Amino acid sequence: MTREAPFAELYATHYRQVRALCRQLLGSAERADDATQEAFVRAYRNFAGYDAAQPFGPWIMRIARNHALDLLRRRRLEPAELGTEAEEAAAAEAGETDGLGELLTAERAGAVQAAVAALPERYRVPLALAYFADLRYDEIATDLGITRTHVGALLCRARQLLRKMLTEETES
Amino acid sequence: MTCPSAVTRSMYADAALTPEQRAGVDLHLRDCAACAAKVAAMNRERTGLRAALRRDDIDLPIPAFAPPARAHASLLAVLGALAVAGFAAAFWSAVADAIPSGLAWLNPLQSGELLERAISLVSFLAFEGNTMLNSALNFVAVSLTILLLTWTAVAFARNRSGAAMLLSLVVALVLPGLTHALEIRHGEGVITVGSGETIDDTLVAAGQTVAIDGTVNGDAFAFGRSVTVRGNVTGNLVTGAETVTIEGTVGGDVVGAGRSVVLRGAHVGRNVVGLGRDLELDTNSEIAANAVTAGDTARVDARVGVDLKSLGNNVIVGGNVQRDIETFAGSVSVLPSARIGRNVTAHVDDPAKLEIATGSTIGGTVDRQIAEVALRHNRYATAGYYVRQVVRLGAAFLTGLMLLWAFPVLRTLTLPTAGAALRSFGIGFVAAVALPVAALLVCLTIVGLPVGVMTFVLGAIGLYFSKAVIAQLIGRRLFQGPSGPPHYAATLFAGLVVVIVAINLPFVGGIANFALTLLGFGMIVTLLFGRFGGATAAA
């Protein structure tokens, strides 16, 4: 069998997931489309080195994540752009609100995704890494070059902003 | 008891605290209902958020996956890069060849000999680029431009009056050429300047038959199948035709090229340069200065005011040459009627090939030079020469085929009239001279260097392909018939055979090469201008 056949199948299965990750990390549908294609092209080139015993999903997601983060770094998502830990922690304390609980249901997925896309990059990127890519704080801290408590502050702040946006949207 | 911070609670909900921190929060939550409620809400929120983010957009179409370009594309890219490198190398080495040894330090490719040789083995371009650009034209154009630019720069650096003088000199040289009006006559049939007619301009005439019986008070340029001058041209006469016959008077120089060039009772005020298979300067003709002939057979019975220089297979001299004769020929005959004022120098491969009849008069010495002709004859006598031509034909055919396949428009280019051919030749000439000069000027500015090099390379590519275009045109002519031309590969091959034979002809091959190259180049330039110029105008 040629490598095209199994790859085409895997592409069809994982495309939407990879594209969603790119969309959340990059914040734009257009850039997500390009990044998704590029991620699959990279996977295709390295397909010979891929161990078929391992699941394809995490492998392609890692390729896509690395590519998207590269793109962000090129666009200067430097640690300095992520604010300081103290500032973010203070802002999180001041903006403390209750969790959304049931307000966040799968039925409102569209609104949630739109709100995430509208988040500033410094909150959107750790949020996507934590709740979509399921990375641990340590991994996020390594990816972004910050401390894990800084990650915690950014995530706390991200959820507060998300709550605010979604509550306002519900009220209106 | 202080409640944990918002960040700590959030990290607790995300299970991101260290075991010790976690134990501390666990302990606090047992006693603090408010914090416990917040953490519980956060946990639910986290679950909801993850589910919402994971929700696939089922409407999202999945575009087709385009596998990245692989080996064949890379191969093409490498071949393309090699081709471009080849073009550039051949072009530069040709330019370098054209630079005299005294200026060798100008040569940017002194060590490029090996590379150039390697490329020349595999590439038609290297052959063509070399012979083509070795032509004196480029050398003259480039060196003149460099000279002029340097001179201008020096003049400006020294003082203004020098520059002004130079400028006025240039203007004086150029202006008459520009302001002098042109009389252009062209058409399919017979172009005539009647015997009573007087043209006070430069005449450019092109047609099947051109007959100048009247008076041209200026230069005359005449091209066609047959050109006859019985009238009077006060300036120079430049003519190219299958048969050129000059029976009248020309005040300046005569440059005539054709299968046969005949001067019969002609009076030429200055020099005659005749190029062709048969050249005849009859006994009633008179040339005030030098006569230079290049062709298979040259018969000079005329009176030549200064020197006679002759290249060819057979040179027969029966006239009156006031000063020296120098020949490079297979055989030279000096007839009894000949009167030569000073020396006769014959470059022949055998002393017996110079025959001097008794009764002829030679004022000076007779010198037989042996070696050089032998060398020239060797070119055609070696098997390697023919092998090279076959390789050349094969390579040219492949390159040409590729070109015609890629650009179908080139398959059907035509030159319907002699005028169109002349125009193409002129455009080719101008472009071939202007392009390197323009590129050179652009190169002088640092920013323009890549553009300049690109211009050079594009020019070289155009010149290189020009003969393939001409070959296709010739091939189509050969196969002209009611059923239309055969496949373009057949016409290309036939045309290339003709072209390669033509450019390898002794003595005139170089000129044929030069003319065919410029003609084809002109056609390409015209085509491009039509395409892009037209598109720009429309946009």
B516, B496 in Cβ contact below 8 A? no
* Mean pLDDT across A20-26: 89
Position B223 scores a pLDDT of 82
Position B250 scores a pLDDT of 93
Contact A104 B63 (CB under 8 A): no
* Mean pLDDT across B467-492: 81
Residue B344 has pLDDT above 80, yes or no: yes
* Mean pLDDT across A126-130: 92
Position B335 scores a pLDDT of 92
Residue A102 has pLDDT above 70, yes or no: no
Instruction: State the ipTM, two decimals.
Output: 0.85
Position B82 scores a pLDDT of 61
Classify each residue of B132-159 as buried b or exposed e, where b means 16 or more C-beta atoms within 10 Å of its C-beta: bbbbebbbebbeebeeeeeeeeebeeee
Residue B388 has pLDDT above 80, yes or no: no
Contacts of A103 (CB under 8 A, 6+ apart): A166, A167, A170, B45, B48
> Which residues in A lie closer than 8 A to residue B25 (C-beta atoms)?
none
Task: Quote the minimal CA–CA distance from B15 to chain A in Å.
Answer: 9
* Mean pLDDT across B442-448: 59
B498, B480 in Cβ contact below 8 A? no
pLDDT single digits (tens) B275-307 = 878 899 999 999 998 898 887 889 999 999 988
Contacts of A82 (CB under 8 A, 6+ apart): A122, A144, A146, A150, A154
Q: Which residues of B, range 15-54, sit inside 8 Å of A by Cβ?
A: 16, 37-38, 40-46, 48-54
Token pair for A136: 């641990």
Residue B472 has pLDDT above 80, yes or no: yes
The confidence band for B114, taking pLDDT boundaries of 50, 70 and 90, is: very low
B137 or B268: which carries more pLDDT confidence? B268
Task: Quote the minimal CA–CA distance from B24 to chain A in Å.
Answer: 17
The confidence band for B521, taking pLDDT boundaries of 50, 70 and 90, is: confident
Q: Which of A152, A159, A162 sits opposite B16 (nearest CB)?
A: A152
Q: Which of A157, A159, A164 to substitute to test the interface with B, most B CBs within 10 Å?
A: A159
Position B534 scores a pLDDT of 45
The confidence band for A96, taking pLDDT boundaries of 50, 70 and 90, is: low
Residue A64 has pLDDT above 90, yes or no: yes
Residue B23 has pLDDT above 60, yes or no: yes
The confidence band for B389, taking pLDDT boundaries of 50, 70 and 90, is: confident
Residue B391 has pLDDT above 50, yes or no: yes
Among B134-148, B407-421, B431-445, B506-520, name the one with the lowest average pLDDT: B134-148
Task: Quote the minimal CA–CA distance from B52 to chain A in Å.
Answer: 4
Give the rounded percent of residues in chain B with a pLDDT score beyond 70. 70
Long-range contacts of B424-429 (CB under 8 A, 24+ apart): B424/B519, B424/B522, B424/B523, B424/B526, B425/B515, B425/B518, B425/B519, B425/B522, B426/B522, B427/B522, B427/B525, B427/B526, B428/B466, B428/B517, B428/B518, B428/B519, B428/B520, B428/B521, B428/B522, B428/B523, B428/B525, B429/B137, B429/B518, B429/B522
A45, B68 in Cβ contact below 8 A? yes
Phi/psi at A75 (5° precision): -90, 20
Residue B50 has pLDDT above 90, yes or no: no
Number of Cβ within a 10 Å radius of residue B510: 18
* Mean pLDDT across B508-523: 82
* Mean pLDDT across B103-116: 38
Among A27-31, A48-52, B79-83, B224-228, name the one with the lowest average pLDDT: B79-83
Helix or strand (DSSP H, E) at B78: helix B71-98
Q: Which of A93, A99, A113 sits opposite B38 (nearest CB)?
A: A99
pLDDT single digits (tens) B296-335 = 889 999 999 988 988 888 899 999 999 999 888 888 999 9
Sheet strands (E) in B213-371: 215-216, 220-229, 232-233, 237-246, 249-250, 254-263, 267-268, 272-281, 286-287, 291-300, 303-304, 308-317, 320-321, 325-334, 339-340, 344-347, 354-356, 361-362, 366-369
Give the rounded percent of residues in chain A with a pLDDT score beyond 70. 84
DSSP B436-461: HHHHHHHHHSSTTHHHHHHHHHHHHH
Token pair for B532: 């892009």
On average, the pLDDT of chain B sits at 75
Position A141 scores a pLDDT of 92
Q: Which of B5, B50, B68 sits opposite A131 (nearest CB)?
A: B50
Position B122 scores a pLDDT of 38
Nearest one of B254, B520, B291, B290 to B400, comparing CA atoms: B520
Q: Which of A15, A42, A123 to substitute to test the interface with B, most B CBs within 10 Å?
A: A15
* Mean pLDDT across B376-384: 62
For A83, B116, B351, B378, the CA distances from B127, given in Å and listed in that order, are 66, 10, 35, 19
* Mean pLDDT across B467-474: 86
Position A81 scores a pLDDT of 64
The confidence band for B268, taking pLDDT boundaries of 50, 70 and 90, is: very high
Q: Which of A44, A45, A113 sits opposite B53 (nearest CB)?
A: A113
Position A78 scores a pLDDT of 59
CA pair distance B56, A73, nearest whole angstrom:
27
Position B97 scores a pLDDT of 53
pTM of structure = 0.38
The SS3 of residue B257 is strand
> Which residues in A lie closer than 8 A to residue B57 (C-beta atoms)?
16, 20, 113
The confidence band for B247, taking pLDDT boundaries of 50, 70 and 90, is: very high
